[in-house]
Amino acid sequence: MKKSLLALVAGVIALALVGCAAQRPVLYPNAKMKQVGEAAARRDVDDCIRQAEDFGARHGGREKAVRQGGSGAVIGGVTGAVAGAVGHGNVGERAVQGAAVGGAAAGTHGAIHSDQPGDLHRNFVQRCLRDRGYEVVGWQ
């Protein structure tokens, strides 16, 4: 039962991570955007995103999901161990179950929100695009 629970948890997290696409800036159709066209603007956005990542301002989505999953596993494991110690259960077994559930919950939550860029990444890309004459109105 433990193996099937862990396999299920891993599968849910993997599917959530694969299903998330990174958010990108949405440009206001100002004079610059109209002058260069959508294809050139898309290349400029890609270039600014690449520059941000080269600078070290990574999007942060998947790493954040993995970190949250690890933290959730630790918290769930401790909670499960305490529940096993207080109740009449096997402490080790409860700790493993708590870690699996906590890791799955936190990892899934992180994966759902992994498409949202961090502040440093977002600010870098927006500044790069503003310097090129574009106006960012949001992220999608």
For the chain, domain boundaries = 2-139
Three-state DSSP at 66 gives helix
Q: Which residue has the higher pLDDT, 13 or 122?
A: 122
User: Residue 56 pLDDT more than 70?
Assistant: yes
Contacts with 33 (C-beta within 8 Å, 6 or more apart), sequence order = 27, 41, 134, 135
Phi and psi (nearest 5°) for 57?
A: -90, 75
DSSP assignment of 71-131: HHHHHHHHHHHHHHHHTTS-HHHHHHHHHHHHHHHHHHHHHHTTTSPPHHHHHHHHHHHHH
pLDDT, position 54? 94
pLDDT, position 125? 97
Tell me if 132 sits within 8 A of 70, measured CB to CB: no
Q: Which residue has the higher pLDDT, 13 or 106?
A: 106
Question: What is the reported pTM?
Answer: 0.53
Average confidence score pLDDT of the chain: 76
User: Residue 98 pLDDT more than 80?
Assistant: no
**Residue 117 pLDDT level (bands cut at 50, 70, 90):** confident
